[in-house]
């Protein structure tokens, strides 16, 4: 009797999952984005939040004491930026911290690839993962992502909730709010997105980026594998992207 009930439960769960992904895929294809609630577990959210705070502290320490003539080559600016993350890049505040291709976030990238494949209906390669710990006053200009990042996710991890603006595929502006662990899965190269200045103290977002398997050239975002820092874009890459018809801006 118990075995039969377990079997009925299992069938019911499978049918429910099928319905859920059908709904997510339809919305993703129609609007260019969809919110996947609780992609990360509470434990993953909590670990990632604490981990990033340590990484940010390490980056501040490296920048303060080890940049310049410090004898260890791993603390020279080029290495410190790649391995320990950036502070105050682009037009962001000087306390804003970002890190690309970290082993923790690349592990999440690979772990959740199958979810992104089910939602987009495409077979995908991992390209890169990225995190940014924004601070008060940061904003994101209206932009699209570079073309090869065709299927992306932005996950709210911690700090203040921060509304994201997005133009959907029908040209309507939408405002999206995420709770910790929620992931906005979106076509970053097709849908313009932006954020008004952050009014809260800080906000941690993690980005997972994938490319369809037809873009094999951009597998791992030109890195040898997962967990490695980003590769600086070469003229050859830019030329190749032009040939493939990939456009968009490099900002995240």
Contacts with Fe ion, residue ranges (CB under 5 A): 145, 252
Rounded least distance, CB 195 to Fe ion, Å: 10
Q: Which residues partner with 185 through β-bridges? A: 34, 153
10 or 251: CB nearest Fe ion = 251
138 or 252: CB nearest Fe ion = 252
Q: What angle do CA 208, 34, 135 make, to 5 degrees?
A: 55
102 or 145: CB nearest Fe ion = 145
Rounded least distance, CB 183 to Fe ion, Å: 14
145 or 182: CB nearest Fe ion = 145
166 or 226: CB nearest Fe ion = 166
Rounded least distance, CB 123 to Fe ion, Å: 23
40 or 164: CB nearest Fe ion = 164
Rounded least distance, CB 27 to Fe ion, Å: 19
State how far the Cα of 223 lies from the Cα of 236, in Å rounded to an integer: 15
Q: Could you tell me the end-to-end alpha-carbon distance of the chain, in angstroms, rounded to an integer? A: 54
C-alpha dihedral over 157, 163, 168, 173, to 10 degrees?
A: 180
Contact 194, 165 (CB under 8 A): yes
Rounded least distance, CB 140 to Fe ion, Å: 7
Q: CA nearest 239: which of 213, 217, 212?
A: 217
Rounded least distance, CB 186 to Fe ion, Å: 9
SS3 107: helix
State how far the Cα of 86 lies from the Cα of 177, in Å rounded to an integer: 26
SS3 69: coil
């Amino acid at each position: 009797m118990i075995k039969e009930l377990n079997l009925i439960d299992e069938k019911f769960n499978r049918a429910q999952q099928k319905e859920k992904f059908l709904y997510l895929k339809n919305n993703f294809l129609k609007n260019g984005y969809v919110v996947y609630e609780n992609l990360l577990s509470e434990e993953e959210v909590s670990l990632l939040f604490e981990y990033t705070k340590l990484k940010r502290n390490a980056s501040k320490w490296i920048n303060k004491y080890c940049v310049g003539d410090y004898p260890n080559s791993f603390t020279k600016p080029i290495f410190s930026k790649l391995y320990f993350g950036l502070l105050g890049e682009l037009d962001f505040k000087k306390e804003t911290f970002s890190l690309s291709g970290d082993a923790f976030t690349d592990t999440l990238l690979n772990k959740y690839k199958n979810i992104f494949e089910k939602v987009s209906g495409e077979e995908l390669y991992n390209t890169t993962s990225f995190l940014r710990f924004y601070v008060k006053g940061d904003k994101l200009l209206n932009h699209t992502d570079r073309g090869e990042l065709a299927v992306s996710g932005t996950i709210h991890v911690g700090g203040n909730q921060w509304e994201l603006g997005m133009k959907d595929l029908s040209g309507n502006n939408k405002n999206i709010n995420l709770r910790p662990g929620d992931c906005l899965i979106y076509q970053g190269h097709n849908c313009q997105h932006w954020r008004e200045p952050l009014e809260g103290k800080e906000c941690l977002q993690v980005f997972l980026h994938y490319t369809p398997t037809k873009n094999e050239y951009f597998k791992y975002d030109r890195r040898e594998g997962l967990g490695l820092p980003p590769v600086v874009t070469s003229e050859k890459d830019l030329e190749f992207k032009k040939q493939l018809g990939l456009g968009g801006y490099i900002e995240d």
